[in-house]
Amino acid sequence: MHETLKLIKRRRSIRQYKAEQVPEAELKEIMSAALLAPNARSMQAWHFSVIQQPYLLDRMVHVIRENLIVSGIEFLVERASTPGYNTFYGAPTVIMISADENSAFAQIDCGAAAENIALAATSMGLGSCVMTSPAFLFMSEEGNALREAIGIPDGYKYVCSVTIGYADGEHPETPDRNADVINYVR
């Protein structure tokens, strides 16, 4: 089987991480892979905030948790109320991806970059999880006040995040996939 297909089949969303930080050389390679993602008209209307500062990550989790609890969305309230809740599953590195508010295709571009990040991490023996729930960070004044600390440029909006780190004993099985969603027109 082709190496790329093996890698795609091996990638899993990891939700339990060791505290050990991602080595700098590997992180740079992962971010290089992000920049190589396809993007509309090669505009590169994205921005990547790589966060490794434990205090900032903890602060973000606190604000997201508070915003989830007051969201009124039952399953999110339940999840955020669980003891030990951590939006980022304790990952030592979180990459927040934002996009130019005026870019029509930025969400697709950022999604492609997130997948490149996840695949690059997997190729290096690291775990990752692509997520959008950190958007709840920006549902309050306190969370919006963290935009500068996170490094999101003015005129950019949050799209998604990718957690990265070493999996802590977790090796999820491949969930069943529904092939009925594919329609061939020949």
**What digits encode the pLDDT tens for the residues 101-113?**
999 999 999 999 9
| 4-25 pLDDT per residue, tens | 999 999 999 999 999 999 999 9
Provide the pLDDT for residue 17. Answer: 97
Provide the pLDDT for residue 176. Answer: 86
Provide the pLDDT for residue 169. Answer: 85
- How confident is the model over 80-94, as a mean pLDDT? 97
User: How far apart, in whole angstroms, are the C-alpha atoms of residue 23 and residue 16?
Assistant: 18
- Name residues whose C-beta falls within 8 Å of residue 160's C-beta, 6 or more positions apart in sequence: 97, 110, 111, 114, 130, 131, 132, 134
| 25-79 pLDDT per residue, tens | 999 999 999 999 999 998 999 999 999 999 999 999 999 999 999 999 999 999 9
- Given a contact cutoff of 8 angstroms between Cβ atoms, the answer to whether 136 and 37 are in contact is no
User: With b meaning 16 or more CB within 10 Å and e meaning fewer, what string describes 109-135?
Assistant: bbbbbbbbbbbbbbbbebbbbbbebbb
Q: Which domains does the chain have, with CATH numbers?
A: 3-168 (3.40.109.10)
Confidence of residue 163 (pLDDT cuts 50, 70, 90): very high
Confidence of residue 172 (pLDDT cuts 50, 70, 90): confident
| 115-159 pLDDT per residue, tens | 999 999 999 999 999 999 999 999 999 999 999 999 999 999 999
User: How far apart, in whole angstroms, are the C-alpha atoms of residue 107 and residue 154?
Assistant: 17
Strands (E) in the chain, as ranges, are 46-51, 93-100, 127-131, 156-165
